[in-house]
Amino acid sequence: MHKYYGGETERALKNFPFSTHKVRQEFVRALVFIKKAAAYANFEDKGFGMEISRAISKACDEVLGGKHEQQFLLPALQGGAGTSVNMNVNEVLAGLATEMLNKQNKKFKVHPNDHVNRSMSTNDANPSAVKIAALFLKENLELALENLVKVFELKGVEFKKNKKLGRTHLQDAVPTTLGAEFFSYAATIQRHLGKIKNTSGLLQELNLGGTAIGNSINADAVYIKSVYKNLNKFTGRKFRPAKNLMSLTSSQTDFLAVSQAVTSLCVDLSKIANDIRLLASGPRGGLGEISLKKLQKGSSIMPGKVNPVLPETVNQLYFLVSGNNLAIEHAAHASQLELGVMVPVIADKLLESLKLTTEVISEFAKNCIVPMVANAKELEKYLENSTAFSTLFVPLLGYDVVSEVVKKSVLEGRTLREVMLEKKLVTNEQFEKVINNFKKNVH
């Protein structure tokens, strides 16, 4: 493999010989978008000529087109606020651009700092790149969430006539429908979708143009205006400079806000997954109110056992995202004076949370929720044998009387109907009327 990177990348490889995965390609691509926009902006502010601008731009296009991924070898864990990542990108683009010019018999060397990195610093390029990458990934997450909402709503319609026992504290509560539970899940995810969409403004506001500490040293007004114009043209998004560039160079809590929104989503996703695991428990010793698609063997020793592997994956997604959020929180807290120096771990963990949440949600919707079926007999059995209908008789008989009926019913293993008829609290017709009126209107 021909090496387009140079000495700074090689030094970083020696300084960070860690077994972690490499810097995420989404982060690299976002940096390349910035370098391409800067190549145009630096020409427009007369920083360098058209030939260098075009060569850097073409080098950027090659990387954005999927070429040269093997040139970006640095581990995600590294010190220096991500200077190594920035220089890796600068060196590769400079090497590619130089090669292109030389093939045209133009003996000129494109410099990684003087040309590719002109008018910027790691300290404004890297946080801006993280926001760009995060915005792209967040948009994918939003699509996955919109689909999950639709899937839950379709199940709500499918299950709306399946009456069942509602439970609180894992105890008999009141009657409801399986459809109502799934409409509830849809509404929960819809709220999280709204919260996540609301973070777009944070990700669209960049410190690009602030250079080292946010006071725009070596970046003039022409460049700053042009770099945003071109960045928006190339990405198809609407990024804008922060009112105070130093603020966004120093503070990294915008990333934390996005992470917290994703973590909050995963809390409820995991809760829903736990509900599904409980409702699908069995096949004989659990509730068995729903059945999930059989995806794989559940045991290497117990024949026929099938486990709820996708709900369990959702649970573990929450554990992972929650841990990432804590890492991001600590990294943001470790900002010092004019710079948030812990960008590498923020970039790695935030992009992982966004990307993995999207992937898991997509599989959960497709192979768990969509093929799920209701077990009508089990639903009816638990409802009819429960004490759930007792609350319906409180307006008629009073709380204390009904409480005694419930206690006697549970103690003697008899139905509410049997106890009420024995005590002559209601007639059979009255009992049926109360139950039937409820069943007609239950939701």
The count of domains in the chain is: 3
Q: Which positions ≥6 away from 157 have C-beta within 8 Å? A: 179
pLDDT at 384 (0 to 100): 87
319 domain residue, yes or no: yes
Both structure tokens of 316: 């573990």
Could you give the CA distance from residue 377 to residue 375 in angstroms, rounded to a whole number?
6
pLDDT at 443 (0 to 100): 66
Same domain, 356 and 262: yes
User: Of 59, 92, 118, which residue sits at a domain end?
Assistant: 118
Same domain, 177 and 305: yes
Domain CATH for 33: 1.10.275.10
Helix 83-103 crosses helix 50-64 at what angle (to 10 degrees)? 110
188 domain residue, yes or no: yes
pTM of the model: 0.95
Both structure tokens of 389: 């209908």
Q: How many residues does the chain have?
A: 443
Same domain, 110 and 245: no
Could you give the CA distance from residue 112 to residue 167 in angstroms, rounded to a whole number?
64
- Residue 391 DSSP one-character state: G
Same domain, 271 and 138: yes
Do 416 and 390 contact (CB within 8 A), yes or no?
yes
227 domain residue, yes or no: no
Task: Identify whether 299 is a catalytic site residue.
Answer: yes
Candidates 298, 297, 280; CA nearest to 289 is 280
- Residue 173 DSSP one-character state: E
Could you give the CA distance from residue 325 to residue 131 in angstroms, rounded to a whole number?
16
Q: What are phi and psi of 177, to 5 degrees?
A: -130, 155
pLDDT at 102 (0 to 100): 93
User: Of 85, 118, 151, which residue sits at a domain end?
Assistant: 118
Same domain, 42 and 184: no
User: Of 118, 140, 161, which residue sits at a domain end?
Assistant: 118
Going residue by residue through the chain, which has 443 residues, state the pLDDT in tens, using 9 for 90 and above: 789 999 999 999 999 999 999 999 999 999 999 999 999 999 999 999 999 999 999 999 999 999 999 999 999 999 999 999 999 999 999 999 999 999 988 888 999 999 999 999 999 999 999 999 999 999 999 999 999 999 999 999 999 999 999 999 999 999 999 999 999 999 999 999 999 999 999 999 999 999 999 999 999 999 999 999 999 999 999 999 999 999 999 999 999 999 999 999 999 999 999 999 999 999 989 999 999 999 989 888 999 899 999 999 999 999 999 999 999 999 999 999 999 999 999 999 999 999 999 999 999 999 999 999 999 999 999 998 889 899 999 999 999 999 999 999 999 989 899 999 999 999 999 999 988 888 777 76
Do 74 and 23 contact (CB within 8 A), yes or no?
yes
Same domain, 418 and 357: no
Domain CATH for 154: 1.20.200.10
Domain CATH for 398: 1.10.40.30
Both structure tokens of 153: 């709503």
Instruction: Tell me which of 226, 250, 291, 299 is the catalytic residue.
Output: 299
Same domain, 51 and 18: yes
Same domain, 324 and 427: no
* Greatest Cα pair distance in the chain: 105
Q: Which positions ≥6 away from 440 have C-beta within 8 Å? A: none
Same domain, 398 and 414: yes
Range of the domain at 401: 387-441
Could you give the CA distance from residue 263 to residue 354 in angstroms, rounded to a whole number?
10
